[in-house]
Structure 1
Amino acid sequence: MAVECVPEGPDLKEMGEEELWDLINDNRHRISLSVRPCVLIPYLRQARVLTEVDEDEIISCHNLTNRCMRTSYMLDLLRTQGRNGAVALLEGLMIHYPNLYTQVTGRKPSTEPSRFSGLIKYSELTEYLVRAVTGMQKELQEARCEANRMTTRCASLESEIGQIMEQDEKSRSLQAENDRLQRHLISLQREITKLKDEKCELYIRFTAAIEEKSAVSSRLHDLNLQVYQLQTDLQSTQTQNEIQKRRSLRCVCSAETPQLQEEVRSLRCQLAKAEKLDPARQDILAQDLAEAIDSQVELAEQLQCYREENEQLLREKQGLLGQKECLSLQVQQLTLNCEIHQQKNNVIQNQMRELQTERDQAYLYRDEAQAMIARVLAEKDTLRCQLVELQERVFSLQSKRGARDQRQSSDSSVSSCEEFPGRRRLRRMDALNPLTLSLSNAEFEDPAATSVRSRNAEPPSPESLRRREEALYADSGPETAETDCLLDDFVFLPSVRSEDKLASRVCSSGGSRSYSSLSRTSAPPFLMRSRPKAIRVSGRVLGISFQGAALLSQLAVVGGNKTGVFVHKVTEGSAAHTVGITPGAQIVEVKCEQNQKALRMVLEDSTLEEAMWALGQVTGICHLSLRPRQDDYDALLQQLQSNETASGDSFYVRVNVSLSAGLGGTLAVSCSDILHVTNTRPAGTEDVWHASQVHPCQLLDLQSGTVPNYYRAQRLLIRAIEEINFQTKKCQKTGREVARNKQKAVRIVSTGRLGRNPLWVSVEDDKTSSTETDASSAPKSCVTLMPYTLVTPHYPPVCRPILLLPTVLGRILDKKLAGWQGFQLCEPEVLSPTEHAARLQRSEILEEGEQGGNCYTLQGVEKVMKKGIHCVLPLGLDCVRRLHRFDIFPIIIFIGQSTRSARKLRQKLQRHGQTEEQLLTCSSSEEPLLDKLPCLYHSVAPDTWCDQTSLLTSLRSIIWEEQKKIVWVEPDLW
């Protein structure tokens, strides 16, 4: 008989409608956080305060994005039902959330929830509870049947594990031989590279010798030309000398001859006679003499002209001869250069032939390796097929044996079955731990869906290998990976600390007690090793469970998100040392119990800081998933010792809050700066990171220092927001305006879900109860304000598109900018309805055009980009994310506006039917949306240009600068 609860608060039956709802509204926040609508709705519909339409609206409405919003909306609907809604809500809390009911009403839950409301009769409530209990019993029975089937299958597969292990050993030997051949091939490639370097050095020396020889030959040719010129001048001088000698000899001989003397006498006589002639005769002779002298002067002038022409022709002849000599020298030089180029081409062709030979040989090695991999995969597929056939045979034999045992059952068993219809007849099973049945039921699923991984004999691609590795070591999680390695080595213990005696009793007895002895209301069970150092290998992941109290004092870790987190040191005599943990193993996953909840923390991609935080949360029994990676661990230690790296962390973040420089090498950063974080746990510090500023055009680290870590920077971000809010209010009180062109101090970035990010570790609760399956639909808790955002670099190979904002001003400047060389405006396309629907489904439509049927498509942008020019986009901000999906990263330029700058564009705005107020409104509405973009943008201050011409000139220089920069893109946080 149920014991009556002593009321500790006011009697709900005597309270009125307003008092009940005041009581509920006072605890509305607590109810919204704790209550799941899907749990209370069946009872509320039974009480007829909610309808089926209300249920669909609460659960399926897209505006209600989380559980708290759905619960609040359910309370609003119940408020319309008046007192009946309040009473029904409290009765539902009494049934499903008794602790919350006590906190809200101050009364202990009663065994008869309908005694004060009259909404549901006691018989109807009993029927409702009976149906619920019956459904839960059916689910429990089905779960037990599934556990029995899983145990039977595991027993049948144990005989096949040995053969698979042998095949694994053979594959390992083949892998070792392949590694040896690869190392030998690498050594040969190194020798070939060394020989190539020596050959290149000899070729360089040979080329230098050829060039030196060419220079000496050219100098020798110049000297020969000088000698030839001197010889020619000597011969001409000698010839002139001979001519002068002959003339002088002729003159001497002619002067001494008597004939000449007689002529001279006769001429003198005539001259004397002429002097005795009359004056008339003398005048005639004088006139004739004058005419003869004039004719001789003319002839002398003509002769002088002819001589000058002759000398000019001789000079031209000498110039042509000199040009001829120069051309002949150039011909010889070109011939020599041609021979040198031919020799170089021959050498390069020989090298190309050698490279082709080496490439063909490498292709041959690759084909052989792929053929070997395909052969191994084919063998594995054959073995898997044989395994499936054997499984089917075993299942058929087991079904036949079960039917035969059922036919041979005695009458006593029949009577016992009639007395207890929910139990099966006891029969002998294989030698397995009975608690492993509950293990299979509670945490593991059927691995048949993943038993055959490959069905092709073709060599896998890198993407296929990555997916296969994730499926083997990550996606399997607590289902398949731990089933193989923990069935024989672990037993279940309740996670409630008050049952330590029961845990020790289970460990000492080897798991002889059944799972039914454990409390159903306790936290999810935990694993404990039934014998020391019982490690089973599942693929390349080791599962180890031990007492992990003060885990950081038992072992030390190194590494980070780039290399992985490795065990570095293990304290001798500790529990970690006892179970066989050694340095060099990568910590993939940590499972522990906290506040009576089983937590699962993935450390495969976490930073060193987050890994140490996660390991510090372990206070009791824990389970570590380790992956042996001794070679990678040795390489990391060598890099740490040689100071090549400070840790295993390496990722890039975008800063969302301005931080000033401080003492101890603190780095001063501004909002939207890019940092390369290389160490999240520097020596001796816990709340700082070591980071470096990144070159805007190259992936190079510049000035380095320390910055606050994620959680400390988050507090600084909140403080900066509070200071900005205070300053804004103060300026509003004093009537002053904050300058619009002041540098931005913070950038508000929030996330709607907890993604895989090296800035925090992934912590999940292991939900095992069937009543909590609906919790998967609720979003996980996450940090909304993000001081740092993870970014990845991208290198656009072609000219990036241009997007000018605000859109009102962009429509004016787009055509002006497209008129320049190297720019082209994106034109809309006219698509048929079928093609429009197809492209819209593929997200290839960027924006709808102003005219009906026109739209801007991805193909139109790519068509302009293929020409090697910038595509000017007359679009809005919505096209940015669509372009990012296809790895197209536009240059976004926002032109800040003020009243004064808008006045400069008054005439341009009026031509396009716009006003200054519309421009300012558009600018103020689009500027806050820029911080939501996943990439950086460039902002132009309104006081840096005076007219449209200067603005376009500055835009062109900005585009050239932005084209050279690296594009940093954030992940999609929503």
Structure 2
Amino acid sequence: MAGEVVPEGPDLKEMGEEELWELINDNRHRISLGVRPCIVIPYLRQARVLTEMDEDEILSCHNLTNRCMRTSYMLDLLRTQGRNGAVALLESLMIHYPTLYTQVTGRKPSTEPSRFSGLIKYSELTEYLVRAVTGMQKELQEARCEAGRMSARCASLELEIGQIMEQEEKSRCLQSENERMQRYLCSLQRDVTKLKDEKCDLYIRYTAAIEEQSAVNERLHNLNLQVYQLQTELQNVQTETDVQKKLSLRCVSTPETPQLQEEVRSLRCQLAKAEKLDPARQDILAQDLAEAIDSQVELAGQLRCYREENEQLLRDKQGLLDQKQCLSLQVEQLTLDCKMHQQKSTMIQSQMRELQAERDQAYLSRDEAQAMIARILAEKDTLRCQLVELQERVFSLQATHNSRQQRQSSDEVEVAWESMKSSCEEFRAPARRRLCRSNAVNPMSLSSSNSEYEDAAASSVRSRNAEPPSPESIRRRQKALNAESSCETAESDYLLDDFVFLPSVGSEDKQTPRFSSSSGSSSCGLPRTLAPPFLVRSRPKAIRVNGRILSISFQGEELLRQLTVVGGNKTGVFVHQVTEGSAAHTVGISNGAQIVEVKYEQNHKALKMVLEDSTLEEAMWALGQVTGLCHLSLRPRQDDYEALLQQLRSCETSSGDSFYVRVNMSLPAGPGGTLAVSCNDILHVTNTQPAGTEDMWYASQVHPCQLLDLQSGTVPNYYRAQRLLIRAIEDMSFQTKKSPKICRVVAQNKQKAVRIVSTGRLGRNPLWVSVEGEKTKSVDSGATSAPKGCVTLMPYTLVTPHYPPICRPVLLLPTVLGRILDKKLAGWQGFQLCEPEVLSSSEHTTRLQRSEILEECEQGRCCYTLQSVEKVMKKGIHCVLPLGLDCVRRLHRSEIFPIIIYVGQTARSARKLRSKLQRHGQSEDQLLACSRSEEPLLDKLPCLYHTVAPDSWCDQTSLLTSLRTIIWEEQKKIVWVEPDLW
């Protein structure tokens, strides 16, 4: 729309190289589909970011079978040009594809004439070239004139070099003092760190004591509750016992026995009377007597039962008494425990008071240390001010001396110089010794009374003035430096704090001269040669302590014969054995120290290699490169070293290496346990230096759903695999040129054998050695470092595992088929289609800058955003993405890892979807073209994807069923993601 206002995105001039290429990579799919290389290459040639050879390779290479592949390869070539390539590409899009430029950058194409003043069309190209050649000739003439002026300027600058060297010498003195103060500050910081550690220990002990006291109080409370319950139960039992006792006494006291006796007597009387009665009366009485006897037997039985009950109650009473005694004993024990816990609590409280006193003392010590540091800094500032004043005084004295030198004779000059020297020494006296770095001059020469040596010393010092030195002074200084080179190393600034100069005590006739005397000295009776100074250690070993890292300096010739190492990137590289009598043994290197980094000099260039997280293979190579003086940074980790040795002895592990890589080529199985791997397999490398093998790694295949090692074996290491990859690419290219049709059929029937992954900027990676000042290093002795703009093929790519906790989004490819199947798949349970959002102009600009817009719709301001995907994922269902490949990297930045499914297409499989394609206004040719253009872009993704074979389904229903099964299987797998190599 003509009146539509395009939101202004970020200014391209203010964006850096990484931001520009990140913007282009986010829209790589859109650019590959919409840009024709033949249209934009003339402008890129004009901008000098592409050469004629690049143009022929892009437009004529047989491996680039379609326009999308050519455009993608053109982007890779432009990436090597850095920011210039990105700016030229965006300006070409602004000219030839203004709509695409707006979609990529979020800015409206500029129509100002000044913006396009340097752009040329095809018809004006020849005229532009003529003008350009003429302008370049004029520039060449101007450059030659400028070169003449610069040569004159160089002559004047050479005169200033002498002054700068003198200032540099003084700055070195200040730097040495600064380093000493920094070391002292580091020691104070270590003390403060120790105090903080002690404070943390006190806090931990205090917390543990409080927790123990709380546990004791809770236990005491529970014991009191138990005692109360036992007392209550005891009272209840006593009450019941009293009741039972009363009942038993009542039963015993019942007057039943006298009544029975009275009845027996009455019955006997009646019986005696009955004997006198008639027989009928006797029968009645006998019957009554029998009934009485029966009733008496019953009463006797009841009495026996009462007695048994009484005995049972007595036994229960005795049991309750015993139980009462046990409970009383338990109560006494609990009382003793309570007293003991009270004593412990009292002791803990006293210890807490002591800890508080120690803490207060630590705070006081910390305050004193801080006050000391502040005082030292103040003293340092005072010394700096004094140094500045002394320098000004020295400069003024030197200027005075130079003015007098032209008017006075040589004798007067010597007298003036001695006076100036004594005055300088008078001013330098209060300063510290490290603030004044003097030359290594023989002290014996300073005490000599010979005027010739005084004159030579005065001339040597006089040559350090602001004036250009004389040729004789330069010659003497060069000889002095040559004599010092046998005692000092290339990094003298790094080691001079550990050495002092002392005079030699040998015979004079065997010593080499340090300074040459004048021609007239031969007539004197004094010897012509002086004893040279030599370096003596001011402490036993050249060891620097920086925090918990030791920096040791020694001669590292054949370093791998002096010491052996074990470990890897997982555990660290440790010193395992040190050869007795070697330089490493002399400086005190012992077993169990981790090698953090190594510094050495090669080809007059200082190099540093970081080995803190390097593999064993890298560490062996890095230590093998050391020649001459080296500096090893070591960290004591004896416990970790012993744990590693224990694991090695128990065969739990074979080394300290452990990292995961994605294989970018197929490798067949070979002899000696060589592992057969396929392209896109994930390997767990556990040993980069297996015993009995050369240029091999020991690795294991990884379970797709769990982090478990499966089949193990050896694979070629990175550099050998890189050579195999290059050879495989050459064979494929030769076969393609020889018989393209046969190779195309074979490629369709077989699995992918090579995945081309390249990088133009090598970052930190366990597959490379980190060398300061160089980009890459090869294990092979004949390999050279890659240039800055070189594109490096990678046979292995470092990957990291991710475990998505919720349902992952689904992306179906090719895009034409995905638009047809997205709505069908979203109709199933557990799936939902991602819906676009309508954003305002300001909100659209804000989200575009935050990379929250995944893709823009063709109509209006509708766009698919990151929030729409997260909203569906929070429901616990799969979000179906109707988008292209450009959204993958944006989702990865937000820790969202979609399931990417690519449905392979052939002419036969496309005919199965003819009706569906026609219903959506598409054709079979469009589907096949989209499939061919998007398939090469899949290898650019930083994650794995699943491919569905064209002959594995017969219709749309079976394809959807297969897709649902694949999604269910992919959801359970681990997501392996590569780092951003660009």
The TM tier, using the shorter chain, reads 0.5 to 0.7
Note closer, same or farther for the CA distance 1:573–1:878 as it changes in structure 2 (3 Å cut). same
Note closer, same or farther for the CA distance 1:713–1:408 as it changes in structure 2 (3 Å cut). closer
CA distance in 2, matches of 1:436, 1:843: 60
Note closer, same or farther for the CA distance 1:136–1:528 as it changes in structure 2 (3 Å cut). farther
In the alignment, structure 1 residue 61 sits paired with structure 2 residue 43: no
In the alignment, structure 1 residue 854 sits paired with structure 2 residue 862: yes
1:371-386 superposed matches below 5 A? 386=371
Letter in 2 for 1:808: V
Note closer, same or farther for the CA distance 1:61–1:144 as it changes in structure 2 (3 Å cut). farther
Identity %: 62
Cα contact 1:79–1:85 (8 A) shared by 2 = no
Q: Aligned pairs, how many?
A: 620
CA distance in 2, matches of 1:752, 1:144: 41
Partner of residue 797 from structure 2, selected from 789, 795, 805 = 789
Query: Partner of 1:973: helix, strand, or coil?
Result: coil
CA distance in 2, matches of 1:60, 1:679: 40
Note closer, same or farther for the CA distance 1:59–1:699 as it changes in structure 2 (3 Å cut). closer
Cα contact 1:528–1:546 (8 A) shared by 2 = no
| Equivalent residue, structure 1, for 2:434 | 432
| Equivalent residue, structure 2, for 1:949 | 957
Alpha-carbon distance, 1:632 to partner: 0.5
CA RMSD of aligned residues (A): 4.6
| Equivalent residue, structure 1, for 2:931 | 923
Deviations 1:867-910 (A, max 9, x none): 11000001111111111111110000011111111122222112
Note closer, same or farther for the CA distance 1:609–1:135 as it changes in structure 2 (3 Å cut). same
CA distance in 2, matches of 1:890, 1:821: 18
Deviations 1:285-335 (A, max 9, x none): xxxxxxxxxxxxxxxxxxxxxxxxxxxxxxxxxxxxxxxxxxxxxxxxxxx
Cα contact 1:433–1:511 (8 A) shared by 2 = no
1:345-744 superposed matches below 5 A? 386=371, 389-402=374-387, 405=390, 412-416=397-401, 428=428, 430-432=432-434, 502-506=484-488, 532-732=540-740, 737-744=745-752
Query: Partner of 1:536: helix, strand, or coil?
Result: strand
Note closer, same or farther for the CA distance 1:813–1:531 as it changes in structure 2 (3 Å cut). same
Letter in 2 for 1:415: T
Letter in 1 for 2:756: I
In the alignment, structure 1 residue 906 sits paired with structure 2 residue 914: yes
Alpha-carbon distance, 1:813 to partner: 0.7
Cα contact 1:559–1:636 (8 A) shared by 2 = yes
| Equivalent residue, structure 2, for 1:827 | 835
In the alignment, structure 1 residue 150 sits paired with structure 2 residue 175: yes
Letter in 1 for 2:943: C
CA distance in 1, matches of 2:952, 2:362: 66
Note closer, same or farther for the CA distance 1:164–1:916 as it changes in structure 2 (3 Å cut). closer
Letter in 1 for 2:578: V
| Equivalent residue, structure 1, for 2:814 | 806
Cα contact 2:543–2:553 (8 A) shared by 1 = no
| Equivalent residue, structure 1, for 2:768 | 760
Query: Partner of 1:533: helix, strand, or coil?
Result: coil
Alpha-carbon distance, 1:702 to partner: 0.6
Partner of residue 120 from structure 1, selected from 125, 129, 145 = 145
Deviations 1:630-677 (A, max 9, x none): 110011001111111111001111000101111111111100000111
Note closer, same or farther for the CA distance 1:172–1:803 as it changes in structure 2 (3 Å cut). closer
CA distance in 1, matches of 2:596, 2:361: 28
In the alignment, structure 1 residue 864 sits paired with structure 2 residue 887: no
CA distance in 1, matches of 2:761, 2:692: 33
Cα contact 1:741–1:941 (8 A) shared by 2 = no
CA distance in 1, matches of 2:536, 2:687: 35
Note closer, same or farther for the CA distance 1:564–1:157 as it changes in structure 2 (3 Å cut). closer
Alpha-carbon distance, 1:506 to partner: 3.7
Query: Partner of 1:675: helix, strand, or coil?
Result: strand
Cα contact 1:157–1:391 (8 A) shared by 2 = no
Cα contact 2:701–2:710 (8 A) shared by 1 = yes
Alpha-carbon distance, 1:401 to partner: 3.1
Q: Point out the more displaced range, 529-538 or 669-678.
A: 529-538
Cα contact 1:529–1:546 (8 A) shared by 2 = no
CA distance in 2, matches of 1:533, 1:638: 32
Letter in 2 for 1:124: R
Query: Partner of 1:120: helix, strand, or coil?
Result: helix
Cα contact 1:84–1:119 (8 A) shared by 2 = no
CA distance in 1, matches of 2:847, 2:764: 31
In the alignment, structure 1 residue 878 sits paired with structure 2 residue 873: no
Query: Partner of 1:863: helix, strand, or coil?
Result: helix
* TM-score (normalizing by structure 1): 0.57
Query: Partner of 2:842: helix, strand, or coil?
Result: helix
CA distance in 2, matches of 1:132, 1:850: 63
Cα contact 1:554–1:571 (8 A) shared by 2 = yes
CA distance in 2, matches of 1:402, 1:136: 23
**Greater relative CO (CA pairs within 8 A, separation 6+):** 2
CA distance in 2, matches of 1:563, 1:118: 57
Alpha-carbon distance, 1:739 to partner: 4.2
Deviations 1:44-100 (A, max 9, x none): xxxxxxxxxxxxxx99734499xxxxxxxxxx99998769968988xxxxxxxxxxx
CA distance in 2, matches of 1:143, 1:766: 28
Query: Partner of 1:720: helix, strand, or coil?
Result: helix
Letter in 1 for 2:573: V
CA distance in 2, matches of 1:533, 1:655: 47
Alpha-carbon distance, 1:122 to partner: 8.3
Letter in 2 for 1:632: D
Cα contact 1:78–1:85 (8 A) shared by 2 = no
Alpha-carbon distance, 1:596 to partner: 2.3
Note closer, same or farther for the CA distance 1:411–1:556 as it changes in structure 2 (3 Å cut). closer
Alpha-carbon distance, 1:149 to partner: 3.8
Q: Which runs of 5+ in 2 are unaligned?
A: 1-50, 53-80, 89-125, 213-352, 406-419, 441-477, 503-513, 515-534, 776-785
Cα contact 2:185–2:373 (8 A) shared by 1 = no
Query: Partner of 1:717: helix, strand, or coil?
Result: helix
Alpha-carbon distance, 1:619 to partner: 1.9
Cα contact 1:731–1:737 (8 A) shared by 2 = no
| Equivalent residue, structure 2, for 1:937 | 945
Note closer, same or farther for the CA distance 1:401–1:646 as it changes in structure 2 (3 Å cut). same
Q: Which runs of 5+ in 1 are unaligned?
A: 1-27, 30-57, 66-75, 90-113, 189-367, 439-495, 518-526, 768-777
Alpha-carbon distance, 1:177 to partner: 8.3
Deviations 1:153-193 (A, max 9, x none): 445567767655655665666788899999x99xx9xxxxx
CA distance in 1, matches of 2:163, 2:871: 63
CA distance in 2, matches of 1:849, 1:942: 30
1:195-344 superposed matches below 5 A? none
Deviations 1:1-48 (A, max 9, x none): xxxxxxxxxxxxxxxxxxxxxxxxxxx99xxxxxxxxxxxxxxxxxxx
Alpha-carbon distance, 1:852 to partner: 1.5
Query: Partner of 1:930: helix, strand, or coil?
Result: helix
Letter in 2 for 1:664: G
Alpha-carbon distance, 1:765 to partner: 2.4
